Structure 1
Amino acid sequence: MSFIYEENIERRPLLADANSDSYQSLLDDGEMGHDRHVLKVHTGDEFLELYAYRFVKAKTVLYYALSICTLGIFRLLLHWKPDWYIKVRATRCAHDVAQYINVIDEHNVEAFRPVRVHTKENGASPTLPKGDGTMKKVDYIRYFTFRKLKYIWKTEVDEWVSSADLDSHIPIKHFQSVLESGTGLTEDEVQCRRVTYGSNLIDVKLKPILVLIFIEAISPFYIFQVFSVSIWFSDKYEYYASIIVIMSVMSIAIDVYQTRSQEKKLRSMVQSSNEVDVLRADGVKTINSEELVPGDVFLVPAHGGLMQCDAVLMNGTAIVNESMLTGESVPITKVALTGAQDDDEDECFSFEKHSKHILYCGTLILQTRYYHGKQVKAVVLRTAYSTLKGQLVRSIMYPKPIDFRFTKDLFRFVAFLFFIALFGFAYTIAIMAQRGESLHRIIVRSLDIITIVVPPALPAAMSVGIINSNLRLRKKEIYCISPSTINTCGAINVCCFDKTGTLTEDGLDFQTLRAVDPSFEETPVFTEEKAVMDPADLPSEGELITAIATCHSLTKINGELHGDPLDLILFNQTGWALVESVNDEEDSELQLFDNIQPTVVRPPAQLEGSGFIKEYSIIRQFTFSSSLQRMSVIVSNPRDDSAHDMTLYCKGSPEMILSLCDPATVPSNYTNQVDLYAQHGYRLISIAKRKLEMNYVKASKISRNLVETELTLLGLIVLENRVKPVTLGVINQLNRAHIRTVMVTGDNLLTAQSVARECGIIRPNKLAFLVEHRNDVVDVKGRPLLTLRQAVSSSEKTADGENEAESDVSVETARRHYLESCYQLSISGPTFAVITHSYPELLDQLVSVCDVFARMAPDQKQQLINHLQGIDYTVAMCGDGANDCAALKAAHAGISLSDAEASIAAPFTSRIADIRCVPTVIREGRAALVTSFGVFKYMAGYSLTQFSSIMLLYWISTNLTDFQFLYIDLFLITLVAVFFGNTPASDQLSSTPPPTRLLSLASVISVCGQLAIMAVTQLFVFIWVTWQPWFVPYAVPAGDEEEDKRSMQGTALFCTTTLQYITLALINSKGEPYRKAIFFNLPLCLTLVVVTLYDPIPYFENRLFLVFVALICAVVSYLFQYAVVEFLILELREKWLRHRRIRDPQANHEKFERLLFDIGQEPAWLRAYTKPQQAENGKGSWAVVDQTTRV
């Protein structure tokens, strides 16, 4: 059962699509004229459309009158249809006078929230930010809450602003002034801000048990149960009705228990508070973290503290663990904002741009490094649900609705069953009225038909596949926090993978150094490859090794080195030692200036006296940034006579370092060497330096943009990122299943393409192209020129390790498949950004055939997932949690590789850190989907089969007995439905996906055909019994005599239909290719054997003939299902449709299918952009580079 908080939600179409503007207004030209009663708000990842309403007295009176007159039925109907509720009671109005807000999110989900007013409380007035970091008092604030966030009405701009965005325009200089002031907020300011922001607590409130019971009991399912039980009791079906009441009570109890358990689990996972030292106007006070408000200055604990808010670090540095938020367990260094920012002080603070200065709520403080005699301070930015942790918790509490056609089809079919029930309802009234039956009897019998045709247990039975798949996933250490996602996994047709840590090993193996010869005079050159970092033997590489030993973000925690795995590998290769305290003989200038205690690195003892300085102090660290693709440090020699002699060491991607270096220091073959290593799958790091003349004060405050220029290249570090042993097999398994695989990585484009070839994402016999851009050449529209290079494999080895003939066959088969292209593209993040911005008309085509995305920033990964979904792909994303959170959350099925049992970054978490979990999740999704189909057809077949038998018995004014109903519904139907989902998923991933439409032609023909076979058989048995010489017609009891439902026709039909129900279970319990055979489902097999052998009725003459008839019915049903439905419709018809789709692009139903039909067979659409004259006409600016890159 999924744990979902609801706020009177209802699905309906949006009036307009949300866009990316932060706040915008729409004018409705309807009843309100030019009143602004429709607003759009963008907060975080949510796009909301807001409609304003006020209550109307006349409508309210009518509402109460109808609710009372209908004994609450009218109010119950409005509870099920909340959009009717607001229309019945209110009318549209302007937002500044609204009493209710109708909120519609980007998934078309509605909620109706009351507008409340905050006035002065206990002497504290509400406050609102002025935009410069300070607050102003107001008389009152109008607000509403939606999904735990408070939205406040700002009169001066006529907008609703979320509490998370109230302080979104704070100038950076404000934080500097806060630090310099040395004081905190006054008690009055704290109280005023608490009125506006509330307590700092991510509180998952536990609903009272009675409330949970009431919410469950008034659901349509249980209301229908009450209706059914009432009919049965009135008709004296006491036994079965009592069983249903007991089962319903147990079901409600289980649901309430599961909901309460989920609430408690989530509460224990996210709710916490601790004591914190906060700086207030009257000094430092120790308070509970729940009392923190935005603007508070607090002292960051030195070790082991858990952050309870989002805060900006003001001084010192902090080593934190953000695994709770991202799944990444590698410690991260956070640096102070003031005195260290690279931006103009007039610039506003940005959560995205300044993330390296933010201590996020939920992160663990491993260690802080502080000023002499001072502690590290931070300023509270956001509290409670406005924090990053709060946003992730809200995404769990209010998950994205699964827009799955299966669910829609289910409700359509229930409506169809209800239509059949109405036919039976009318038939019963007509036939019983003709016989002169009593009004009470007519009403009871006709209503009873509805309970037979529309099975009350259908919604519950449909969930058995999901429940069992989830249990099997847990046994394989794959944990799911959103079980409703499992069915969606059965429709996945594209899988995106991060590279490092997902497709390849976490660690890197050092391969070689390529230093720039420091003795060059005119043209710099690379030295020979060096496979070890021994400075004693490598005099030419000495400064490069020094740079490696100092340029990192490592720290010691409890005596052990912690940090980025890449930094650890390289530092350990050098053999240097790291300590985190300065020498006793510190420079006097350092003592006068309150500098952070620097990290000190020392070379091995054997190098002393060999020209190496004894130790280096890392004075300043510019942390790694994905967008900047580099990090750097400023180091000095504490023993040097000149404290102003410092060196900047910078390392990063080869492209970025090249752009920062003085061209005179770069070897002419630099690009060729980088490409050569990258094409063989190696990861490259470039290192450069710059001599600086400055003191400690300037070094601690200077912007990185001023020092990371005019660098001198020192060399290249070559590392190997080995592909995980299981990667190749898993990718091949997905390829054989025609599930598209895509690599999304932050690594070099050529490296990514090489690894993609090695693991099978890029096929050996497909053409591969690199899509790049040139900023130095633009077209007539000023757009950068796009270039295309063909990449040629440097290895004849087939991707799947099979022989060449087998590979040719598989590739040729894939080429003939209309859902696959015959070529593949690779794109880097910068080029992806250029195409997104300047060539949006090409984006859909590129996304449909591009399988390698390199140098992708985290937000670009999310954009890619959204684009794939936009062309109708069902997308899975698998990553290790680092920089993948946004993409994991955006995908239909996000799978995080983490040691944690449950990560709030993705619906699925695998504790086995490789991609073998992906086909497992897909197989279980397909098994759950097929199980849902099977249960649906079984329950539908059961209800319609029973309907036909009851219609025959009504013809003679009788019915099945109470015990016959009990045996069928409890032992035959309920037990079979419960065990239906126990059949395990298949071990193989089929090349054809299961159908996702419940009301597909095959399903409809299957259900209708089986109904016809069952009904004809029942009619034959009904007539056959009347022909027998021993037949005694049923006699209707006279007068008030108690009804005796026993009849020969009823007994014959009962004997026949029990075997028909077993036949339906066997036929619909489909095995391969998505599930194992039914024999692997031991509970179901035992149930079917027992109910088949069990003799529920006494012996009567010619019963074996009825069994023989039932067996013939089973054989006919089996032949119909597998010869007509499976072979003619699902196999031959699908083949015909596939050929029709190839011939007729309009026959394709999915957008990506139409795209692949147009561009998949050959890149002719690319050639249209390669003609120079087209660029002149403004139609394109592609250029073909006559060059092949060997990968």
Structure 2
Amino acid sequence: MKALRPSRQGDRAPGAAQPAGPPPPPSALSGEPVHARAVTDVFGALGSSPRGLPSATARARLQERGPNELPPARGPTVWRQLAGQFTDLFAVVLMVASAITFLAYTLQQPRETGTLQLAVAILCVVVLNASIGFAQEYSAERTAQTLQAMVPHRCRVVRDAGVVELPVRELVPGDLVALEAGDTVPADCRVVEAHDLTVSNAAITGESEPVRRTAEPDTAEEALRARNCLFMGTDVITGTARAVVFATGRATEFGRIFRLTAAAPRQRTPLQRQVASMARRVAGTALAVGALLFVIRLPSGQGLVPSFVFALGVMVALVPEGLPATLSVSLALGVRRMARHHALVKKLLAVEALGSTTVVCTDKTGTLTQAEMTVVRVWAWDQEHTVTGVGYEPNGEVTDPAPVRELLRSAALCCDARLVPPDGGGRWRVLGDTTEGALLVVAAKAGLDMAAEEAAAPRIAEHPFDSVRKLMSTVHDEGGARRVRVKGAPSEVLDRCTRLDRGGTVAVLADEERKRIEAEADELATEGLRVLAVAGRDTTGSSGNRDADESDLTLLGLVGMQDPPRPEVHAAVESCHRAGIRIVMVTGDHPLTAEAVARRVGIVRSAAPAVVTGAALDAMDEAALDRLLAAGGELLLCRVSPEHKMRVVTAFQRRGEVVAVTGDGANDAPALKHADIGVAMGASGTDVAREAAEMVLLDDSFGSIAVAVRLGRTVYQNIRKFLVYLFSHNIGELAPILAATFAGFPLVPITAVQVLAIDLGSDVLPALALGAEPPESDVMDRPPRPRTERLFSRAVVRRIAFLGGIQALGVCAVFFWHIHASGIPYADFTADNPVYREAITMVQAGIVVSQFFNALAVRTERESVFRAGVFGNPWLIAAGLFGLALMAAISYLPLLQGVFHTAPLTAGDWALLTAVGVLPLAADEVRKFLLRRRTAPPEGEQR
């Protein structure tokens, strides 16, 4: 895929010709090392040329040397992963309990089959949880690999004398790569051309400060210490460069370190640690309850071993052994859902934090807009020229182009971007900055052949754009004369101008004219246009001094371009407003441009938003900044630097806000890392920004942020839902056991094996299905949850007690009603009594039926489940029906009747159990109705 325009400098030097035949392959360099050689010798030593490699040669080298990638880290084998599931704390506790139960079975005289069944049932619980944990972990690793493949890892390479964009893995020794600020170096390279180049070598050497790099030969003993070498995995901080690859893949310095570095252990998130700690406390409570039941039952005439086995079974049944696996599955499902909506979450912690985001600091270009800049207006002295055509396709025209042809020529020459024509029916696109792409397109619309223009005016020096100067300049050789071309923010360029081009006549730029030009720039910005000023000057000497080159300029005119808002952004902004999330636009654009775009997408709705420039922020102390942010309302931060963004993020966090920050440049990395949620752009963002962020937007759209917040809130709510579900039914299991014990009934209302069957059949699968619950319709109509709110809040505990208490009353009533209806005294009941077997079967079935309706109840917190749709989660219905089917099998199949000591239930029994089971759902619907009524806004007031 060739670029529209030829590459610069060395590859278009007059008389440069491609060598006959392919260049020799780079071998182990003999003589001087590559970093000690002059630039002219580097190409020959590496079998390359200033025009890059021919495609055929590159393909041959790729086949010979292999792809430019590191081998995947060796993780544990499948069998080791599976074995690891059985070393978990809960798995160990359960296996020890099973062993003790089996030992008790061997000591019993006579031996009871029920004790052996309990030991086997406990092992079944261990195997089930290990299977779920292993499946989730194995699937999560595969998903992570798939999602990481969605993030672009590409680089710009000179091939066949043109700049192309290729996957990093296709680089070979001898390739000439083009680098700019924000790029990650794709392989070990020797610099052959550098402009204000600095890199961060922290990934290799640990140096925290950026270091300058040059193309000059270096006499260092090794390449790692040479000032003209770049290494895979390091980051370009400032400037631009071209460098020739001399090592790829395993042969790189990073590859050497990679081979010596063991894979880092997986870290648990605070949420996972909190749940694990809570589960351990619950396990301790279960142990205490088991001990209490053992002490109570021992004096009642039960044998030592039967009492111990019963207490052990109850204790094991009450341990939330499946909770950590269910939590991990829920978080992993949230990550996958976000990926389907173009939001790649790199850390599970980000899923948790998204649910409590209160402030989003968003940039403008590409996030709120389509990142397809189009020049629509060109202003030269006293004349305004309109431009037709949209996007990067060079179709359209400039009205009366002759007076502005030199302006557009200068703007296009001062660009590093490349236009790429459609490939296979696609669209025109830009390699590089989108603003520069728009300048190339408008130059073509004005009839300029930029390939010919560049050949006639080759670039001999450049001063790259940076966020402080807000401009870029290049120096060109035009027939022996040298001319500087400058483009940038109008305020910055005007400050450096002393003259004005009036249609070919150069005059001194008077203060009155300067004000007039500033007013014209403001008027264009008011219309929502991004405005650039273009200037130039003739120069002499070496032109190596940036301040000298960018002073005493002649203004050529202004260029106004627009980037239309993304169509989905307005609805996303409105959704965030309803959710109580404050949106602050942070941009380097003109305040008028920023406000115009903010109004279009709905960020600004009032007549007078707070618009603060970077200069105003510099004048504020911390107290003044805190007052500005505490004032609330609509806030636009314009003409700001990355340092300003970082300061604002810190100030918001100081106030207790949970801040999400978007960014795409290398200079955004500090703010992205410091934010609670760093959000990088996947399509247009730099490698450095993506590495610093916790979330990557694969489509660069603000709409994906709103969706991610919605899904993040949903994940947190779903975790609470299955916690309520799991712990409420524990109350329903424990209550009849305690009631029978204190009432003096000699037998248990539900056996330990029955309880474990409930855990296997009615707990795990519905809990997993609740983790996949879709978002509630009003999830974005609620304010963000407080940052300090614990998972087990008072509201959650109250709901567990509410639903669990209703279930407990229902199953206790069913049990004692059936016992009393028989007319048999307590003391006459035995384990083989048909009435007793029917009663414990009804208790087990009552819990299972109650849990089916309880699962429906906990699906929503405020909204009626009937309005949300009873069948809105088909997996939950299927899991509940599986539990009911298993219960029916336990009741009716003779083989399972012998295992669980159950009896067949009649149709009347099922009708009674259904009436009792539906009580939690009915009671919770009443609670939700009262809650909605109490919190509803006053009549006529909008939410």
Please give the TM-score of this superposition, normalised by the length of structure 2: 0.70
What is the alpha-carbon distance in structure 2 between the residues aligned to residue 561 and residue 1058 of structure 1?
61
Do the aligned partners of 2:327 and 2:719 also contact (CA within 8 Å) in 1?
Answer: yes
- CA drift of 1:683 comes to 0.5
What is the alpha-carbon distance in structure 1 between the residues aligned to residue 140 and residue 248 of structure 2?
37
**Which residue number corresponds to residue 545 of structure 2?**
703
Do the aligned partners of 1:1032 and 1:1048 also contact (CA within 8 Å) in 2?
Answer: no
User: Given the superposition, is the C-alpha separation of residues 431 and 248 from structure 1 closer, same or farther in structure 2, using an over 3 Å criterion?
Assistant: same
CA offset digits 1:244-289 (Å, max 9, x no partner): 24324424543563476478779999999xxxxxxxxxxxxxxxx9
Does 2:449 match 1:566?
no
**Which residue number corresponds to residue 950 of structure 1?**
737
Do the aligned partners of 1:861 and 1:886 also contact (CA within 8 Å) in 2?
Answer: no
- CA drift of 1:675 comes to 2.0
- CA drift of 1:990 comes to 3.0
**Which residue number corresponds to residue 540 of structure 2?**
693
- CA drift of 1:499 comes to 0.7
Do the aligned partners of 1:928 and 1:981 also contact (CA within 8 Å) in 2?
Answer: yes
* More divergent stretch after superposition (501-510 vs 872-881): 872-881
Number of residue pairs matched? Answer: 779
User: Given the superposition, is the C-alpha separation of residues 924 and 312 from structure 1 closer, same or farther in structure 2, using an over 3 Å criterion?
Assistant: same
The partner residue of 2:873 within 1081, 1089, 1107 is 1081
Does 2:446 match 1:578?
no
**Which residue number corresponds to residue 1015 of structure 1?**
808
What is the alpha-carbon distance in structure 2 between the residues aligned to residue 983 and residue 601 of structure 1?
59
The partner residue of 2:528 within 681, 686, 709 is 681
What is the alpha-carbon distance in structure 2 between the residues aligned to residue 557 and residue 577 of structure 1?
15
The 5-angstrom pairing of residues 402-413 of structure 1 reads 402-403=269-270, 410=275, 413=278
Do the aligned partners of 1:494 and 1:876 also contact (CA within 8 Å) in 2?
Answer: yes
CA offset digits 1:1088-1136 (Å, max 9, x no partner): 3464576342598996665565455445434543444x45668748999
Does 2:623 match 1:831?
no
Does 2:774 match 1:984?
yes
Structure 1 residue matching 2:364: 3-state secondary structure = coil
**Which residue number corresponds to residue 648 of structure 1?**
484
**Which residue number corresponds to residue 86 of structure 2?**
217
The partner residue of 1:513 within 378, 383, 387 is 378
Do the aligned partners of 1:900 and 1:911 also contact (CA within 8 Å) in 2?
Answer: no
What is the alpha-carbon distance in structure 1 between the residues aligned to residue 650 and residue 228 of structure 2?
26
Structure 2 residue matching 1:579: 3-state secondary structure = helix
CA offset digits 1:405-461 (Å, max 9, x no partner): xx5764565365346425523421322221254443343333333222222112222
- One-letter identity of the residue aligned with 2:770: F
User: Given the superposition, is the C-alpha separation of residues 648 and 746 from structure 1 closer, same or farther in structure 2, using an over 3 Å criterion?
Assistant: same
**Which residue number corresponds to residue 920 of structure 2?**
1117
Does 2:916 match 1:1053?
no
- CA drift of 1:397 comes to 6.1
Do the aligned partners of 1:240 and 1:962 also contact (CA within 8 Å) in 2?
Answer: no
**Which residue number corresponds to residue 51 of structure 2?**
none
Structure 1 residue matching 2:450: 3-state secondary structure = strand
The 5-angstrom pairing of residues 341-360 of structure 1 reads none
**Which residue number corresponds to residue 482 of structure 1?**
347
What is the alpha-carbon distance in structure 1 between the residues aligned to residue 932 and residue 753 of structure 2?
40
What is the alpha-carbon distance in structure 2 between the residues aligned to residue 335 and residue 462 of structure 1?
47
Does 2:645 match 1:861?
yes
Structure 1 residue matching 2:721: 3-state secondary structure = helix
- One-letter identity of the residue aligned with 1:452: A
- CA drift of 1:556 comes to 8.2
**Which residue number corresponds to residue 960 of structure 1?**
750
**Which residue number corresponds to residue 447 of structure 1?**
312
**Which residue number corresponds to residue 1065 of structure 1?**
855
**Which residue number corresponds to residue 720 of structure 1?**
562
Do the aligned partners of 2:125 and 2:756 also contact (CA within 8 Å) in 1?
Answer: no
Structure 2 residue matching 1:872: 3-state secondary structure = coil
Does 2:812 match 1:1027?
no
Decide which structure has greater helix share. 2
User: Given the superposition, is the C-alpha separation of residues 400 and 426 from structure 1 closer, same or farther in structure 2, using an over 3 Å criterion?
Assistant: closer
| Structure 2 residues not aligned, in runs of 5+ | 1-33, 43-68, 105-114, 154-167, 204-210, 218-224, 389-395, 423-428, 500-507, 893-901, 939-943
**Which residue number corresponds to residue 682 of structure 2?**
898
User: Given the superposition, is the C-alpha separation of residues 356 and 687 from structure 1 closer, same or farther in structure 2, using an over 3 Å criterion?
Assistant: farther
Structure 2 residue matching 1:430: 3-state secondary structure = helix
**Which residue number corresponds to residue 657 of structure 2?**
873
- One-letter identity of the residue aligned with 1:223: V
**Which residue number corresponds to residue 1142 of structure 1?**
none
What is the alpha-carbon distance in structure 2 between the residues aligned to residue 627 and residue 705 of structure 1?
14
Do the aligned partners of 2:649 and 2:675 also contact (CA within 8 Å) in 1?
Answer: yes
Do the aligned partners of 1:730 and 1:919 also contact (CA within 8 Å) in 2?
Answer: yes
Calculate the aligned-residue CA RMSD, in Å.
5.2
The partner residue of 1:844 within 611, 619, 626 is 626
Does 2:787 match 1:1003?
no
The partner residue of 2:214 within 337, 340, 344 is 337
Structure 2 residue matching 1:1080: 3-state secondary structure = coil
- CA drift of 1:690 comes to 1.9
Do the aligned partners of 2:614 and 2:640 also contact (CA within 8 Å) in 1?
Answer: yes
- One-letter identity of the residue aligned with 2:527: H
* More divergent stretch after superposition (1000-1009 vs 259-268): 259-268
User: Given the superposition, is the C-alpha separation of residues 552 and 448 from structure 1 closer, same or farther in structure 2, using an over 3 Å criterion?
Assistant: same
- CA drift of 1:868 comes to 2.8
- CA drift of 1:657 comes to 0.9
Do the aligned partners of 1:1070 and 1:1078 also contact (CA within 8 Å) in 2?
Answer: no
- One-letter identity of the residue aligned with 2:875: P
Structure 1 residue matching 2:840: 3-state secondary structure = helix
Does 2:254 match 1:384?
yes
Structure 2 residue matching 1:315: 3-state secondary structure = strand
Do the aligned partners of 1:1033 and 1:1047 also contact (CA within 8 Å) in 2?
Answer: no
User: Given the superposition, is the C-alpha separation of residues 541 and 360 from structure 1 closer, same or farther in structure 2, using an over 3 Å criterion?
Assistant: farther
Does 2:726 match 1:939?
yes
- CA drift of 1:863 comes to 4.2
User: Given the superposition, is the C-alpha separation of residues 561 and 767 from structure 1 closer, same or farther in structure 2, using an over 3 Å criterion?
Assistant: closer
User: Given the superposition, is the C-alpha separation of residues 539 and 476 from structure 1 closer, same or farther in structure 2, using an over 3 Å criterion?
Assistant: closer
Do the aligned partners of 1:578 and 1:601 also contact (CA within 8 Å) in 2?
Answer: yes
What is the alpha-carbon distance in structure 1 between the residues aligned to residue 730 and residue 276 of structure 2?
16
Structure 1 residue matching 2:891: 3-state secondary structure = coil
- Percent identical across equivalent pairs? 20
What is the alpha-carbon distance in structure 2 between the residues aligned to residue 767 and residue 715 of structure 1?
31
Do the aligned partners of 2:173 and 2:248 also contact (CA within 8 Å) in 1?
Answer: no
What is the alpha-carbon distance in structure 1 between the residues aligned to residue 150 and residue 461 of structure 2?
37
CA offset digits 1:526-557 (Å, max 9, x no partner): 44455589899555435423322322224589
Structure 1 residue matching 2:454: 3-state secondary structure = strand
Do the aligned partners of 1:509 and 1:719 also contact (CA within 8 Å) in 2?
Answer: yes
Please give the TM-score of this superposition, normalised by the length of structure 1: 0.57
What is the alpha-carbon distance in structure 2 between the residues aligned to residue 741 and residue 411 of structure 1?
35
Does 2:326 match 1:461?
yes
Does 2:334 match 1:550?
no
Does 2:404 match 1:541?
yes
What is the alpha-carbon distance in structure 1 between the residues aligned to residue 324 and residue 525 of structure 2?
54
What is the alpha-carbon distance in structure 2 between the residues aligned to residue 911 and residue 308 of structure 1?
21
What is the alpha-carbon distance in structure 2 between the residues aligned to residue 376 and residue 264 of structure 1?
27
- One-letter identity of the residue aligned with 1:1084: L
- One-letter identity of the residue aligned with 1:601: E
**Which residue number corresponds to residue 501 of structure 1?**
366
Does 2:124 match 1:254?
no
What is the alpha-carbon distance in structure 2 between the residues aligned to residue 561 and residue 1009 of structure 1?
60
- CA drift of 1:872 comes to 2.4
- CA drift of 1:503 comes to 0.6
* More divergent stretch after superposition (707-716 vs 309-318): 309-318
Do the aligned partners of 2:350 and 2:695 also contact (CA within 8 Å) in 1?
Answer: no
User: Given the superposition, is the C-alpha separation of residues 268 and 386 from structure 1 closer, same or farther in structure 2, using an over 3 Å criterion?
Assistant: farther
What is the alpha-carbon distance in structure 2 between the residues aligned to residue 714 and residue 1134 of structure 1?
61
CA offset digits 1:819-875 (Å, max 9, x no partner): xxxxxx22223433443xxx0122333234363222333454344334433322233
Decide which structure has greater strand share. 1
What is the alpha-carbon distance in structure 1 between the residues aligned to residue 853 and residue 924 of structure 2?
11
Do the aligned partners of 2:529 and 2:562 also contact (CA within 8 Å) in 1?
Answer: yes
- CA drift of 1:725 comes to 1.8
